[in-house]
A and B are shown apart, each in its own frame.
Chain A
C-alpha cells in the first residue's frame, strides 16, 4: 500500500505536521510576545488583530497556542527519547541474551507498570518541585518499559529467522546480532510506538500542567492554558475551548498518523494493540 492511499494516515500526518510547523515557528515568531501583558485588552473575542481573542491577562491566544503546542511537543518528544533511549537497548538485551537479563528487564517493566503513571508523576514533581523538566522525567520513565516490551516482542519474532541463525553461525556474538540484525528490522515498530507515545505524552503533560505540576508561568503549555481558564469557564468558556480543542486535534492527529504508519510499515501488526503507555 502506498502512503497516500491511506486516508487516515494522510490526514493524521498532515495535521501533526501543521502543528509541528506552527510550534517550531513560535521559536522565532509569534503574532504577539507571549509575555506581553496588557490588561486593557483582555477577554477580547476573536478579531482581525487577535484571531482567537485574548486571555485573562490580555495575551494573544494564537501566540499562546503556538508556544503551548511547542512546550507540549517538546516535553512529550524528550520523554519519548528518554523512553526509547533506555527502553530499546533494554528490550534488545532481553531478546538477545534471554535468561536472567530478560527476566530482570521484564520484572522491572512490570514493576513500573504496576504504578498508575499520573500518581508517580505527581510524586516526582512533589519531591523535586513542579516544572517542565520534572514532567519530562516523570513521563519519560513511563515510556521506558513500553519501549522495552515492544522491542523485545519484535526482536523475539525475528530471532528464529534464518538470517539471524546464519549470522550466529558466521561467528557474530549476541551484541553484534542485536545491533546489526535485530535493531534494523524492528525500527519501524519502534517508530510507530514513538508516535503513539508522543500523543500520550502530550496528554500526560497537559494533565500535569493542569494540576499545576507541569509547565510553570510565564512559560505556557496547552494544559496550563486550560488551568488558567478553568476558574473563568462560566464567564469565558472560549478560553477553555481553544486549548481543549487544540489538545484533542493534536492527539487524534498523532494517533491517526501512528496507526496509519503501523498499517503501512507492517500490515501483520494491525491486530496488535500498541497503546499501552502513560496516563
Chain B
C-alpha cells in the first residue's frame, strides 16, 4: 500500500516537475537558517529581519547594490552642499505602498522622525543622530541637514534600518509589513515560512519571479535533504562542511562570496593579563589562521589581520603583522612575565563558527602554555555577560555591520580598548568626505588595531550559497544584510 502511495506521489512530482520546466517556473523557495522575530527592519537588530524584508518589501532613499556601492532608491538623485551639511533628495514619482497609499516627502520625514524619536526602537539609532533636521520642501523634494559632515551618510540611509515606512501602516509592520518594494507580503506561517508576491504597481523594473517563499530551516542535515529532494531551490548560506555535497553536482551551483562578518577573538583589554600588549602580541603570534580557516570553514574564508573586510576598497592586508611563530610567542609571553603561560576562559555564543574556532584556538594556545577553558553560552547570556557587563576574558564572535571599525573608538565597548589617538582618527574619518583622504585614514586605523593586537583577528565569514542550476541573479557577496530577490530568474 505504501509503495503505491509513494509511486503516486513520485508520479505527481514528476508531472509537476515537467510542467514547471515547460512553463518556465516563476516562483522560488529559498531556505534561510533563522526565522526573524518580527518583520520590521527599522525596529530590530536581527539580521533575519533584513534577510526577508530588505529591498524586497521595504526600500530606502538609497539602496546598497551587490558590490556594496550606493545606488538611487526611492530618491532618484540628490545634491550635496559644499560644506557637506545639507543633502537635497528628489523623490521618485508614482511610487505607491503595498496598501495603495502614495509615497511622498511626508513619509520620508515621518520615517526619520520615528527613528530619532525618544521612544525609538531602531537598532542603529546612533547612526542617524547626525541628522539635525528633515524638511519637506515639496511632495517630491526633501532636505536633510546634518550636524557635521558624514562620509557614510548615503550608505547609512540605504541600510535596512532606514527604509521608508508610511505613517498609516508603520505600527503594524512587525507582523504586516507594508513597504514600497518589488515584493509584497502575503503571509507568515510562524515557525515555517514567509510568502511574498510580486507587487504589480511597483515603480521600477518588474521582477522576473512572481512568488517567493522564504522557508526557515535551521538544521543543516534537514536543509541538505530539502535541497536534494527539490523542496527548496537554494539557500544564501550553507554550512561549509556540506558544500562538498553540492560542489560536483550538476543540478546545483555553489556561489562563494564575501560578507561583512569579521570573526574576532574578542579580548578584554581592561583586565590582566590582556591589558599587556606583549601578551596580546604573543597570542596573535600563536594563532595559525590557515589551520583555523581550514578547520572551521573548510578553506572558504579569507584571513584578516585587522578589523576590516578584505573586499572593501580601503582594505590593507595586515595578516603578517604578527605571523604564526610559536618561538616569538613564547619569548613575548616570557617578557611579559608569563613564562609558564596562564589560564583564561573563552565564552562561546551558540554559532558553529564560534564553537569550532574555540576548540581549535584552545588547542593552538595550549602550544604556548595558555590554557583556555571553553564556556558555551546562549545568546541572551552572551549579550548580558560579555557585551553588557564585560564579564569575560576572551570570546569569539562575528561583527557583521559594514564598515564598523568605529566601534574601537568607544572605550566603553566590551573590548575595553582605550586609545585617544585612535578615537581622534575615527572622529576625523567620520567627518571626512573626500575619498582619498578617507582611504588614508581608514588604512591608518586598520594598522593601529593590527599593531595593538586589540583582538585576535581571525577571518572574514564567507557567504556560501547553494542554488539550483538555472537560477540567475543571486548576490554572490553580501555587502549588507539581505537576500535580494529582485534580479532572481530562471534561465531559459
Contact = CB atoms under 8 A, between A and B. Distances in A.
A35 B355 contact: no
A232 B356 CA distance: 14
Given A35-B366, A57-B360, A218-B374, A234 B242 contact: yes
Which of B224, B355, B356, B363 counts the most chain A CB atoms within 10 A?
Answer: B363
Given A234-B242, A235-B241, A218 B221 contact: no
Given A130-B376, A231-B220, A39 B291 contact: yes
B239 A231 contact: yes
B221 A231 contact: yes
Contacts of B221: 230-231, 233-234
Given A40-B291, A130-B376, A234-B224, A217 B359 contact: yes
Nearest to A58: B295
Interface in B245-269: 245
B277 interface: no
Contacts of A230: 221
Interface string B295-307: 1000000000000
B154 interface: no
Given A36-B363, A57-B360, A231-B220, A216 B374 contact: yes
A36 B241 CA distance: 20
B244 A37 contact: no
A37 B242 contact: no
A57 B220 contact: no
A56 B241 contact: yes
B334 interface: no
A232 B352 CA distance: 13
Contacts of B244: 235
Contacts of A217: 355, 358-359, 374, 376
Contacts of B242: 231-232, 234-235
Contacts of A57: 295, 356, 359-360
Interface string A50-91: 000000111000000000000000000000000000000000
A40 B221 CA distance: 25
B241 A218 contact: no
Which of A36, A39, A218, A233 counts the most chain B CB atoms within 10 A?
Answer: A39
Interface in B202-244: 220-221, 224, 239, 241-242, 244
A198 to B, nearest CB: 27
Interface in B281-304: 291-292, 294-295
B85 interface: no
B301 to A, nearest CB: 13
A254 to B, nearest CB: 29
Contacts of B245: 234-235
The bracket for how many chain A residues form the interface is: 10 to 19
A68 to B, nearest CB: 15
B425 interface: no
Nearest to B291: A39
A122 B295 CA distance: 30
A56 B292 CA distance: 12
A40 B239 CA distance: 20
Contacts of A234: 221, 224, 242, 245
Contacts of B376: 130, 216-217
Nearest to B375: A216
Given A57-B295, A217-B355, A235-B244, A35 B239 contact: no
A57 B356 CA distance: 9
A34 to B, nearest CB: 10
Contacts of B400: none
B391 to A, nearest CB: 15
A66 B63 CA distance: 56
Contacts of B241: 56, 231-232, 235
Nearest to B355: A217
Given A231-B239, A232-B241, A218 B359 contact: yes
Contacts of B362: 35, 218
B382 to A, nearest CB: 13
Given A130-B376, A231-B221, A235-B244, A35 B363 contact: yes
Contacts of B364: 37
B220 A37 contact: no
Interface string B90-115: 00000000000000000000000000
Nearest to B358: A217
A57 B361 CA distance: 12
A35 B358 CA distance: 12
A130 B376 CA distance: 8
A103 B291 CA distance: 62
Nearest to B290: A39
Interface in A123-153: 130
Nearest to B361: A37
Contacts of B363: 35-37
A71 to B, nearest CB: 15
Contact of A37 (B224, B295, B355): B295
A39 B357 CA distance: 12
Interface in B346-391: 355-356, 358-360, 362-364, 366, 374, 376
A36 B295 CA distance: 13
Interface in A199-233: 216-218, 230-233
Given A56-B241, A231-B241, A37 B359 contact: yes
A230 B244 CA distance: 15
Given A216-B376, A231-B241, A39 B355 contact: no
A245 to B, nearest CB: 19
Interface string B302-345: 00000000000000000000000000000000000000000000
Interface in B142-192: none
Contact of B360 (A37, A130, A235): A37
Contacts of A42: 295
A235 B298 CA distance: 13
Which of B295, B356, B360 counts the most chain A CB atoms within 10 A?
Answer: B295
A231 B224 CA distance: 9
Nearest to A230: B221
A142 B246 CA distance: 45
13 contacts: A35-B366, A36-B363, A37-B359, A37-B363, A39-B294, A40-B291, A40-B294, A216-B374, A231-B239, A232-B241, A233-B221, A234-B224, A234-B245
Given A39-B295, A217-B355, 14 more contacts: A35-B362, A37-B359, A37-B360, A37-B364, A39-B292, A42-B295, A130-B376, A216-B374, A217-B374, A232-B242, A234-B221, A234-B224, A235-B242, A235-B245
8 A-B pairs closest in CB distance: A37-B363, A39-B295, A231-B220, A39-B291, A39-B294, A37-B360, A216-B376, A217-B359
Interface of A: 35-37, 39-40, 42, 56-58, 130, 216-218, 230-235
Interface of B: 220-221, 224, 239, 241-242, 244-245, 291-292, 294-295, 355-356, 358-360, 362-364, 366, 374, 376
